[in-house]
Structure 1
Amino acid sequence: MITVEKSDPFSPDSCSLVEKLSAELAAITGDSGKSNFTIDSMDGDRSLWVLARNEKGDATGCGAIRPLTENIAELKRMFSDRSAPGVGKALLNFLETSAKNMGYTEIWLETRHVNHKAVNFYKNNGYVLIENYGPYIGRNEAVCFSKILRD
């Protein structure tokens, strides 16, 4: 059983998972992903940092949303250590529901074309390709997705 809850992005569990994510992204894409996300961006009222935990209480995944516009949340730093099935889906469901409850109507995200697991994960969970936005405009290695949040 996987539980997901709001957490402190500066906690030891959060920092450990972010470091694992950064190392994995660097191995897959050549970029740790740290340049387009800082923990400080989690300070806002409409930002949220979460951790997934297994039945023993061990942190197994993390993820965040932050405002991109008034109606669009950006999904950031999604990661599962893959120690248990369903961590990614549990994180995504929690973050999507939270985004809706915070007044967002859509979620956008970026990953890299070479990160096939992530690309397939988002496609399988209802995300559709969009034009690259913000810092990803003109970056051929980047691929951006969107999902409309429905009730």
Structure 2
Amino acid sequence: MTYVVDFTDVSTVGLESSPVAAALAGLRANEARYFKNKYDHVFTVEPASKSKATIAWVSGILESERSIVIASPPLEATEFEVEGIRMAYVFYQSGLSINVMYTLADAGKRAVGFKLSDGMEVPEELASFKFARQKSKLAGTIRGSYFVIKGEH
């Protein structure tokens, strides 16, 4: 079932199995608010079982670009296009959120972003990254990092 993420009344729907479900829900709501305010895009997610292609695309980029395999199971994902940018998000049980920003034009920006929910440890597979801290009213303290995509995906 597709779920429209509400950033005014934050819900853990779909994220209940995460040990940091409330913080992950806040992180998801933070992303929903950003896309609504910047692009007037309604942020919707669906269960991982219905998002296999999106999860495979994100996992393929991680594997081919940096040999990263995420150990935590995915709970939800979404994929959409705004202003010529293909966006994909995967939310994991551990509290990790991974997004891919892939500009469709050849000269555009392409990157993978990692965000850690408040209260979760840095996953071993991401230990080599430095994480910056950001405060959010919806998500508490978000720790984030990224890398630039070099190949075609």
Which is bigger in relative contact order (C-alpha 8 A, separation at least 6)? 2
| TM-score with structure 1 setting the length | 0.41
By percentage of residues, which structure has more helix? 1
By percentage of residues, which structure has more strand? 2
